[in-house]
A and B are shown apart, each in its own frame.
Chain A
Amino acid sequence: NAGVTQTPKFQVLKTGQSMTLQCAQDMNHEYMSWYRQDPGMGLRLIHYSVGAGITDQGEVPNGYNVSRSTTEDFPLRLLSAAPSQTSVYFCASSYDPYSTSQGPYLTQYFGPGTRLLVL
C-alpha cells in the first residue's frame, strides 16, 4: 500500500513552459486535493475533487487545471508556468465523509510533495 504518490519530486521549468504534476493514491479515497505551500502562507487549496469526473476550484485556482478521470489519479496541469508558481505542491486524499465505514471525516493523507522552480 503506497498511499499517496507524487511525481516528479523536483522540477525546474522556464517561464511559459507547461507541465503536469502527477498524483496517485491506492487507498480508494473518493476525495483528492492539490495544495501549494509557500513561506508564511501556509497550505493553500488549488483544486479539489469529490470523485471521478467531479472537480472544483479552491482558493488559488488561477493558472492551474485539473481533471479526474479515475478514482486513483488526480493530475495538476500548469499550462504556462510563471515564476509566481514556484512552490512546493502537495497532493492529498481523504475518505468520503458520508461513508461511515471509513476513518475520520476529511482526514487528509498527503503525498511527499513536488518542489517546482520556475525561472
Chain B
Amino acid sequence: QQPVQSPQAVILREGEDAVINCSSSKALYSVHWYRQKHGEAPVFLMILLKGGEQKGHEKISASFNEKKQQSSLYLTASQLSYSGTYFCGTDYGDEGGKLIFGQGTELSVKP
C-alpha cells in the first residue's frame, strides 16, 4: 500500500519552517526520505529504521513514530535550495528489496 503524504504542497518564505508527514496503514520497518528537483532524479536524504533515533542533517531532520506508523520530515529555516518535491519511501520488512513511495509533497521556497 502506498503511504500517504501531507500536505500535497506547501509554499514558504525563506527562513520559515515546514513539516511534511508520511503515514502508513501497515507496520513499518524503515522510512526513507528523498528530494527531487524539477527535471531531475530523486536524491536520498535520510533513512529512519525501526527502533532507531531521529535523524538529521543540518537543518533537515526527521522522526519515526512506530506506534503511529508515521514519519515526519522537518525543514528548519528553509533556504531557496530546499525547493523541490519530497517523497517518503516505506519498507515493511516483509518483502526484501521493495520500497514503496508516497505521492510526494511539492515544496516551494520564495525569497
Contact = CB atoms under 8 A, between A and B. Distances in A.
The answer to whether A and B belong to the same complex is yes
Interface of A: 31, 33, 35, 40-45, 48-50, 56, 58-59, 90, 94, 97, 104-113
Nearest to B34: A108
A40 B105 CA distance: 9
B2 A106 contact: no
Contacts of A107: 32, 44, 47
Given A42-B87, A44-B101, A108 B96 contact: no
Counting contact residues on chain B (CB < 8 A from A), the size range is 20 to 34
Contact of B42 (A44, A104, A110): A110
B44 A48 contact: no
Contacts of B98: 33, 45, 48, 56, 58
Interface of B: 2, 5, 30, 32, 34, 40-44, 47, 49, 87, 89, 91, 95-104
8 contacts: A35-B101, A43-B89, A45-B100, A56-B95, A106-B32, A110-B41, A111-B41, A112-B41
B41 A42 contact: no
Nearest to B41: A110
A3 B44 CA distance: 14
Contacts of A97: 96-97
Contacts of B91: 105-106
Given A33-B97, A59-B2, A41 B47 contact: no
